[in-house]
Structure 1
Amino acid sequence: MLRIVCYLRSHKLEEVKTAIAATGVSGMTVSDVRGCGNSPESAAWFGTEGFLVPLPIRSKIEVVIPESRKDDVVATILENARTGEHGDGKIFVERITDAIRIRTKERGSAAV
């Protein structure tokens, strides 16, 4: 099993969620997050007053899928999240060694 973690522009969230669901992925976790990639918080000035420009709000999508679905899901995210501009986001692919459904104690892919 793999966990796909995607950080993307918030205005692309609904489009990406719908596209992922259309691939047959049945569960996902979505969060609002703040962060920066290669552009850290920066100082700005308004008159003589300095202030930090806040980190942008982004959306985070997490899905756990069989390894055989990786290329399809990643391609779907790329196709629907990409604008071609700086700040489009990142996709991370992580190996999941086990999953346990608390209610039934099922393990592995049956728990997902």
Structure 2
Amino acid sequence: MKEIRAYIQPHKLNPLTLALLEIPGFPGMSVMDCEGFGRERTEHIQDYKPFLPKKRIEIFAPDALAERIFTTVMRVAHSGHHGDGKVYMLDVHKGGRISSGERGEDLA
């Protein structure tokens, strides 16, 4: 199982959600508001605040779907401008379903 974690521009959330829902067997996702900065920084000196708004997406998916999800995020969230965001793929060793007590390596 993999975790796909992405930080994207807020206006890309709806198109990304629609694209991900087209993937057969898509397991779902969590979305959070967050702020941060990378190499792109605002140039406003007065009231300087380096943090820019982003959406954090977390998707836990079976290995068979992970690459397709990762590629979809990269394609749909891309605008060609600095600050489009980042996407990561991480190994997940175990998951658990709280409601049923079920545990395992493939609980996406």
Structure with the greater alpha carbon radius of gyration: 1
1:26 is matched with: 27
Trace 1:20-59 onto structure 2 (pairs within 5 A). Answer: 20-24=20-24, 25-39=26-40, 44-45=45-46, 51-59=47-55
1:77 aligns with 2:78: no
Retained in 1: the 8 A contact 2:27–2:61? Answer: no
Uncovered stretches (5+) of structure 2, i.e. residues with no partner? none
What's the CA shift string for 1:1-29, capped at 9, x where partnerless?
00000100000001101111211313100
TM-score by length of 1: 0.85
Uncovered stretches (5+) of structure 1, i.e. residues with no partner? 46-50
Identity, % of aligned positions:
28
In angstroms, what is the RMSD of aligned CA positions?
Answer: 1.7
Give SS of 2:95's match. coil
Q: Tell me: CA distance 1:28–1:15, structure 2 relative to 1, closer, same or farther (3 Å).
A: same
Trace 1:64-103 onto structure 2 (pairs within 5 A). Answer: 64-103=60-99
Give SS of 1:52's match. coil
Distance in 1, Cα, partners of 2:42 & 2:84: 17
Stretches of 4+ aligned residues off by more than 3 angstroms? 39-43
Aligned pair count reads 106
